[in-house]
Amino acid sequence: MSRYDIEKFDPPPDPDLVCCICQCVLDKAVECPCRHVFCQICIERWLSNRHTCPTCRKRTRKTDLKPVLPLVQNMLNRLMMICDFRQNGCIDKVMLENFERHVKNCGYEMKTCRFSKCGQPILRMYIEKHENEDCPHREIICNGDCGLMIPLSEMSVHNCVSALKAHIEG
């Protein structure tokens, strides 16, 4: 699935905002002198071995390409997208211009507990609590003499001197 696959938009995008080369919503939209619009990467790839607009076949070169009008870019920016993590429970719809930021921070992304003995999949919104408070395999700083990070599960048999020795040797 490409970044701007039509399926990710709700409501479906206007056909004028869809690239006829990749069939996805325009990604970094540019226009040819004939005013036909394409994703920058799609049209540049097309023009590197042909010199015509894919829609109307007018003579076009890479150097003729221009960014689309701000009006078109604004229409693109405001398209509503479905979060990548909908199947995990995120019901947010996000404007295209905010989509990347949302997905990077979405609480419904599945993460993996950082403690290797655990490795449990946990939603981002719960992972901090899990790793700091709930994980049976989390490590805590020993408040005895060694001051090392010790797995909670080993704390009852932990010995500062032998742990320090193992730490220095290992």
Q: Which residues bind Zn ion (CB under 5 A)?
A: 19, 21-22, 34, 36, 39, 42, 53, 55-56, 83, 85, 90, 92, 106, 113, 118, 120, 135, 142, 144, 146, 160
Instruction: Please give the Cα distance from 68 to 57 (Å, whole number).
Output: 19
Q: How far is the CB of 63 from Zn ion (least distance, A)?
A: 16
DSSP letter string, 54-118: TTT--B--GGG-EEPPHHHHHHHHT-EEE-TTGGGT---EEEHHHHHHHHHH-TTSEEE-SSTTT
Tell me if 164 sits within 8 A of 146, measured CB to CB. yes
Instruction: Please give the Cα distance from 3 to 96 (Å, whole number).
Output: 11
Nearer to Zn ion, 11 or 104 (CB): 104
Q: How far is the CB of 81 from Zn ion (least distance, A)?
A: 10
Q: How far is the CB of 103 from Zn ion (least distance, A)?
A: 7
Nearer to Zn ion, 21 or 72 (CB): 21
Q: How far is the CB of 77 from Zn ion (least distance, A)?
A: 17
Nearer to Zn ion, 71 or 84 (CB): 84
Nearer to Zn ion, 6 or 142 (CB): 142
Q: Residues 160, 163, 166, CA angle at the centre, nearest 5°?
A: 150
